[in-house]
């Protein structure tokens, strides 16, 4: 039986394009699907019974067709949001839920496929409280952290740990006209706290006196690490000029590398983008301070993106996370 790699992502995804190109060069059959295309441009049928314990059937796009049992690996990237805006609100909500549970549920339960990463694992690992809990359990150095909507608790935390920073849990949603926005990690003044703090949850941390940042991309058993420095010492390097970032290869301490493998295993992940703040002086930092792990992060902007691409292609071609 021939094997196929299913890539689940939006049409415009340069990172996925690179992995698909690498697989094509190896002669691996690839089918790319955006579940949000459900309709005439994406049709499917799937069957299961007491005698057949796995889903079988076909998935058809405008240009490709694949038998579900032939899918040996799934690269779950960044599919588009469901598109049912042409329907009245109640019908839109119904269609969205049915598509998510029907087609989405099917694509998440392909018996013969290895997932990189499984969507449910991404969801579990996307909660920062869970990330911090697991990181602390594994002995990684995390900054003092408070999650709260209580103004008095926030003020007490600030008094004990000032200076403190604020960071979002999920980031800023796009506006109605589709414009993307961002709320960067930022220092906060506790004197500005008021009753609006109780409206929703907030994440505060003691600021880390860092000298640089580190991004560690883990794909299976392969680790790629880069030290990141900014020209202006900005608190959150993402808000600066990316063209002026300095990337330097960096050695990962053995205990950190081992902990990252255990971290991924705890969430049943194959891949993750880890961020650390580095403290100390000189080329060898004294401490690696945990920032977060993005279980579906971007890596195409990193200097070692070609090697990371090959690492993804290796795993998907084998149809195994190991």
Domain spans of the chain?
4-116, 144-206, 210-313
Residues of the chain with pLDDT under 70: 1, 173-181, 240-242, 282-285, 320-322
At 116-137, the pLDDT tens digits run 999 999 999 999 999 999 999 9
CA–CA dist 242, 226 (Å, integer): 14
CA–CA dist 224, 217 (Å, integer): 5
pLDDT of res. 311? 97
> What crossing angle do the helices spanning 305-318 and 14-25 adopt, rounded to 10°?
60
pLDDT of res. 321? 36
Cβ atoms within 10 A of the Cβ of 189, count? 10
The CATH class of the 144-206 domain is alpha beta
CA–CA dist 275, 187 (Å, integer): 18
Q: What string of DSSP letters covers 196-210?
A: GGGGS-EEEEEPP--
CA–CA dist 141, 150 (Å, integer): 26
Q: Is 250 exposed, middle or buried (0-12, 13-18, 19+ CB in 10 A)?
A: buried
Q: What is the pTM of this model?
A: 0.91
Query: 4-116: which CATH number, 2.60.40, 1.10.287, 3.10.180, 3.40.50?
Result: 3.40.50
CA–CA dist 221, 257 (Å, integer): 10
pLDDT of res. 319? 81
CATH number at 210-313: 3.30.470.20
pLDDT of res. 322? 37
At 233-271, the pLDDT tens digits run 777 777 766 677 888 999 999 999 999 999 999 999 999
């Amino acid at each position: 039986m021939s094997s196929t790699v299913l890539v689940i992502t939006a049409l415009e995804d340069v990172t996925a394009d690179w992995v698909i190109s690498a697989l094509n060069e190896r002669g691996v059959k690839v089918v790319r699907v955006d579940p949000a295309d459900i309709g005439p441009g994406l049709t499917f049928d799937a069957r299961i019974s007491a005698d057949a314990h796995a889903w079988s059937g076909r998935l058809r796009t405008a240009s490709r067709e694949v038998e579900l049992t032939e899918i040996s690996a799934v690269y779950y990237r960044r599919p588009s949001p469901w598109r049912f805006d042409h329907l009245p609100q109640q019908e839109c909500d119904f269609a969205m839920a049915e598509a998510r549970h029907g087609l989405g549920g099917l694509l998440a339960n392909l018996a013969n496929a290895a997932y990189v990463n499984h969507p449910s694992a991404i969801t579990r690992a996307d909660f920062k409280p869970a990330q911090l809990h697991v990181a602390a359990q594994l002995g990684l150095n995390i900054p003092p952290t408070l999650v709260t909507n209580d103004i008095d608790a926030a003020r007490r935390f600030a008094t004990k740990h000032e200076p403190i920073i604020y960071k979002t849990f999920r980031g800023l949603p796009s506006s109605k006209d589709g414009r993307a926005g961002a709320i960067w990690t930022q220092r906060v003044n506790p004197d500005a706290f008021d009753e609006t703090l109780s409206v929703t949850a907030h994440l505060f941390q003691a600021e880390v006196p860092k000298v640089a940042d580190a991004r560690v991309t883990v794909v299976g058993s392969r680790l790629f690490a880069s030290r990141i420095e900014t020209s202006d010492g900005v608190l959150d390097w993402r808000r600066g000029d990316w063209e002026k970032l300095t990337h330097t290869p960096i050695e990962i301490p053995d205990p950190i590398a081992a902990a990252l493998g255990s971290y991924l295993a705890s969430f049943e992940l194959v891949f993750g983008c880890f961020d650390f703040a580095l403290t100390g002086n000189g080329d060898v930092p004294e401490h690696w301070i945990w920032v977060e792990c993005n279980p579906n992060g971007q890596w195409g902007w990193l200097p070692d993106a070609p090697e990371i691409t090959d690492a993804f292609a290796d795993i998907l071609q084998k149809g195994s996370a190991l």
